[in-house]
A and B are shown apart, each in its own frame.
Chain A
Amino acid sequence: MSVANAAHSVVEPSAHARRFAGLLVILYAIITMIPLVWIVLTSFKSPDDAISYPPKILFKPSVEGYCNLFTTRSRQTPEFIQTLGQPRGLCDSIARSRNMVVAGPSNYVPRFVNSLIIAFGSTMLAVALGTLSAYGFSRFRVPLKDDLLFFILSTRMMPPIAVAIPIYLMYRTLGLSDTRLGMILLYTSVNVSLAVWLLKGFIDEIPREYEEAAMIDGYTRFQAFVKVVLPQATTGIAATAIFCLIFAWNEYAFAVLLTSGNAQTAPPFIPIIIGEGGQDWPAVAAGTTLFLVPIVVFTVLLRKHLLRGITFGAVRK
């Protein structure tokens, strides 16, 4: 131990200071996690437990929230329910205990699928366009390069509502309102700025000598790009793709203003899940939980590149 301590530089904080800092940070982390933990807990509560006072930390777990999320139910008289015979499945028997029967699936799955299609579609397009442009900006002398790069970034700075007004009119004219294609194009245009800036940073880090060596060996510039640069940039491309995916997945302003049914994604849908007499909080919590889980996974995967992503590649570790 003493040898290790002696090797430490004078600027290392003392063990005491370190422990104190750790304590404060852990305290903050725990407080900041409470709302998220509460979402997950609420999703497993029965509606009565969810709105009890004082709020319940210990409760009998129930899947009613998830049942209500995935189904629509209709209220029936007990006499009618008795004529139906055996309940079909767990959700049906929960519904019957509340004098209801399952009427059919809810819109959650279609909205979730829309979110998936739009997020993946726009991410693939944005990353493809972004990789090409980033390579172009990184390797070639482009006239007005800085102005073009600023123009690309500035499109992301616009308030979404301000953009939504003319987009709404344009999409109405073109027949793109409330279509998945329209949303994919829109999210691509928002994400492409991030993709260009991030990927330019990643490609700048790949030494030009690799391509030049390949071209001396007889590759064309395009072949060198495909066979030398792309494999080197895989990590950067993956990190960029996840950032684009998270943006498209989380986006709300455009979705709520430009979609209503066909192409509606999950974020505008989850807040309007209502039960009898107001919001069905366990169902909302269940929908929220399922919606957030992929992002939590991605955040853990991305943690090394987060800083780059949120600063458009300006700050690297």
Chain B
Amino acid sequence: MAIVIETQDLTRVYKSYQKPEGFTNSLKGFFKRQYQHKVALDKTTLQIESGQIVGLVGANGAGKTTLLKMLSGLVTPSGGDARVLGYRPWERKNEFLRQISILLGQKNQLWWDISPADSYSLLARVYDLDPQAARKRVEHLAEMLQCTHVLHTQLRRLSLGERMKMEIIGALLHEPQVLFLDEPTIGLDIVAQETIREFLDQYVKEKAPTIILTSHYMDDIAKLADKLLLISKGHIVYQGTVPEFVAKSNSELAENEEVDFEEVIRRFLETESRVR
């Protein structure tokens, strides 16, 4: 299988202003600022094959979203290199952007003041899609997600779950080859989570895109991912398949102990975090 995503020593350092609390320190900071440099991702090297669904798992601040942002071209690395579909993402070439999509679960990507149907017409223009074909595709995806009834309601008036379904349709409208999903089920109730999971599962079987998925819900990862990437404090600490990881972890546990996938991951990351 062809390599679609590869990184070599990919690094990102963030610089942030540090201010001790209090009025006097605010005044001092007005004239002289102190900055802290934090390594969000450290010399990460990885390869992802075409059609794979990769679950990217780690604690808050581990570097998952930073990695996604760099691979989708949102953030420029401080060091190292990366290629997605043969392009350097942060150069943001239109040919590259037409083939990818990023869904940020905590951020709206559609237009707040208009209906999703209007947003999709606009996206069809942005991606240079045939308007008729785009409309059909929207109908098809909306049926799969059971949300046809809200297509003409202003986005701001929809519930979180409905909005997320609309965002998913928007992200898939142009049939991206590479899809970055950052916590697509965050904040949703169990039913909505399950609907989205099933939808993604079905979509992947139909279109076989390459997906990098981050989620704090291990059910998302266990159900969808072929490959697991565990990340801790900016380092990839495990790369392999989900069954391999579970088998490896179980062999290291006490004989009479039985733990589920989520527990295995939690323990692994805790150990890694202590080591680093």
Verify that A and B bind, or say they do not: no
- Partner-B contacts on A (CB < 8 A): none
